[in-house]
């Protein structure tokens, strides 16, 4: 199963980044293809996604805060089997490095969401994740500008 690892530096303290990461209802603002997201129970997240064919698909995930303000892990509860983690590393008092790791099966991702196959699928997923990280960075930095 391929593993995708990306990171981005955000101009905000770790606790601010952590709070934004846990505002599930804001996922449509920075996660590509998410139409709506909501928390279900204490550790569940449901997202309504738009596939490449324009149809809607639900996706449920379970999250765990392994170390609050440091590491959150997640995994889907059904196919496609996706899992990953987000870690926050303080750079200084006003900068945080966010590291994302995601494991996925390209065939399952293609069957669930459509889009290209093979290497093109992996490239598209990597590009989307990078764009999502930049959208998240912009969201946090606009909500909490440094002076």
User: What are 36-91's pLDDT values in tens digits?
Assistant: 999 998 889 999 988 777 778 899 999 998 888 999 999 999 888 899 999 999 99
The stretch 113-122 carries a mean pLDDT of 61
Q: What pLDDT does residue 116 have?
A: 57
Cβ pair 57, 51 in contact under 8 A: yes
From residue 88, how far is each of 7, 92, 117 by CA, in Å? 10, 12, 32
Helices (H), 10-116: 14-21, 27-30, 106-113
| pLDDT at residue 7 is higher than 80 | yes
CA–CA distance, 128 with 60 (Å, rounded to integer): 19
Q: What pLDDT does residue 94 have?
A: 96
CA–CA distance, 83 with 62 (Å, rounded to integer): 9
The partner residues of 40 in beta bridges, in order of sequence, read: 44
> Quick check: helix, strand or coil at residue 74?
strand
Of the pLDDT bands very low, low, confident and very high (cuts 50, 70, 90), residue 98 is: very high
CA–CA distance, 19 with 123 (Å, rounded to integer): 30
- What is the pTM for the complete model shown? 0.88
CA–CA distance, 66 with 73 (Å, rounded to integer): 7
Instruction: Provide, rounded to the nearest whole percent, the portion of the chain with pLDDT above 90.
Output: 60
Residue 125: both structure tokens together: 């997923």
Taking all residues of the chain, what is their mean pLDDT, rounded to a whole number? 88
Q: What pLDDT does residue 51 have?
A: 73
CA–CA distance, 70 with 61 (Å, rounded to integer): 19
């Amino acid at each position: 199963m391929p593993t995708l690892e990306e990171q981005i530096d955000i101009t905000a303290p770790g606790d601010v980044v952590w709070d934004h990461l846990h505002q599930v209802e804001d996922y449509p603002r920075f996660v590509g293809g998410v139409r709506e997201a909501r928390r279900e129970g204490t550790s569940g997240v449901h997202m309504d996604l738009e596939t490449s064919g324009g149809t809607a698909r639900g996706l449920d995930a379970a999250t765990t805060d392994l170390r609050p303000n440091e590491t959150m892990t997640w995994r889907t509860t059904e196919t496609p089997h996706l899992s990953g983690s987000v870690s926050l590393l303080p750079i200084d008092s006003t900068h945080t490095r966010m590291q994302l790791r995601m494991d996925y099966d390209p065939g399952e991702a293609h069957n669930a969401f459509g889009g290209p196959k093979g290497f093109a699928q992996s490239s598209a997923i990597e590009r989307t994740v990078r764009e999502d990280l930049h959208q998240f960075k912009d969201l946090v930095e606009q909500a909490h500008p440094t002076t």
